[in-house]
Amino acid sequence: MQKELAPSYLKDLKVYQAGKPIDEVARERGLTNISKLASNENPLGPSPYAIREMTRGLWDLHRYPDMHAYSLKSKLAEIYNLKLENIILGNGSEGIMAYIARAFLQPNDEVLTCDNTFIGFYILARSVGAKLKTVSLTEDYRFDVKALAKNITDKTKVVYIANPNNPTGTYITKDEFDFLMEHIPSHVLVILDEAYFEFAVQQEDYPDSMDYRYDNVLTLRTFSKAYGLSGIRVGYGFGHEELIAYLTKVKLPFEPNLIGQLGSVGALEDRPHLERTLKNNTKRYGEIIEYLESKNFKPIKSITNFVTFKTGSREASDYLFDQLLNHGVIIRPLKANEMPDFVRVSIGTKDEMRHFYKAMDEVLPEYDKKFGRV
């Protein structure tokens, strides 16, 4: 019966796999000291301003949230010099991707992107029956703008670019973005997913989409990463008011929820917390690269809060993931991203990274006997 209820394209759709939760590892492995380096979260936690605002909101939980999210939108409009009509909010940036799929995609519409990018997007596009057309990443694991440009046809409706990309941490430069936009017709919608914007914008040749403002580009950002608020699920999108008006039609009225709206305003007001986050990330990034290279791994150069490196095989990745779990360290194997011979490690606090290095030091002698290096 269910088979007939659901459209055929849902039959083989795989459910999103998140990073392994801390409680699950504690339960399964009988551990108490666990470092989760699997979901690119902010290891410093939420801003105290955000906590203050959210705590205040607890007393109003019997009320529906402001469906126009006036305070949060006004704050974003002020920071980015936009009108409220240019802003959409949702349950995480994935929530907004779901609105995009609902508003603009129909079965058999063609969506163009690269292999080895954010799985959440593939799932959402497939969930409405869209046809995914993908091109390979470049040899240095970056979105291949030439291949994308070559593969745009009359049928292409949406192009999805994660900049920087997850799970590789790489980015397309200003020149590459210019090249791509020259080749994308204005009726094609470009989703520019900038979930790691705050980390990336420190690079001089990183194209901040807010400096361009094309009518056919929707920028997606999030409070889940640098702002340390993954748990309250708030994402935001910027775009032309006509695009935003369509998204608003399909949006669930009370997303994001009351606590999400308040916490996000608090986070935006706490610049020092963001600075601390970026500082920790830069320092720890240098250290993990040094560590991995000293062990003869070849990490992919990343401008985000995570690092991906090659193990050489699915078995090696699974082994490393499993053995590190025994030591209380959760990393991310990348089978679901079709990079089974790689693993991804999110950047944590100094202590969490020490935990990772110590666990690696203990696991690597046996790992080396089994797999060596590629």
Ligand X SMILES: Cc1ncc(COP(=O)(O)O)c(C=O)c1O
Contact set with ligand X (CB under 6 A): 40, 92-94, 118, 120, 162, 166, 193, 195, 222, 224, 230, 235
Nearest to 239 by CA among 253, 223, 258, 220: 220
Per the structure block, which two tokens stand in for 139?
């040899």
Question: In the numeric block, which tokens belong to residue 360?
Answer: 């690696």
Taking the complex as a whole, the smallest distance from the CB of residue 232 to ligand X amounts, in Å, to: 10
3-state secondary structure of 133: strand
- Contact predicate 215/189, CB 8 Å: no
The β-bridge partners of 307 are 345
Task: Report in angstroms how near the CB of residue 120 gets to ligand X at its nearest.
Answer: 6
Length of the chain: 374
Residue 1 CB, shortest distance to ligand X, in Å, is 32
Q: Which amino acid is at 240?
A: H
Q: Which structure tokens are listed for 30?
A: 């009988």
C-beta closer to ligand X: residue 172 or 363: 172
The nearer residue to ligand X, 295 or 335, going by C-beta atoms, is 335
Instruction: Name the residue nearer to ligand X (CB basis): 223 or 356.
Output: 223
Which residue number is nearest to ligand X in terms of Cβ?
92
Q: From CA 306, how far away is CA 42, in angstroms rounded?
A: 11
H or E stretch covering 96? helix 92-104
Complex with ligand X: residue 120 or 363, whichever CB lies closer: 120
Q: How far is the CB of 320 from ligand X (least distance, A)?
A: 21
- Tokens 């949702």 found at: 90
CB of 222 to ligand X, least distance (A): 3
Minimum CB distance to ligand X, residue 237 (Å)? 10
Return the CA Rg of the chain. Answer: 21
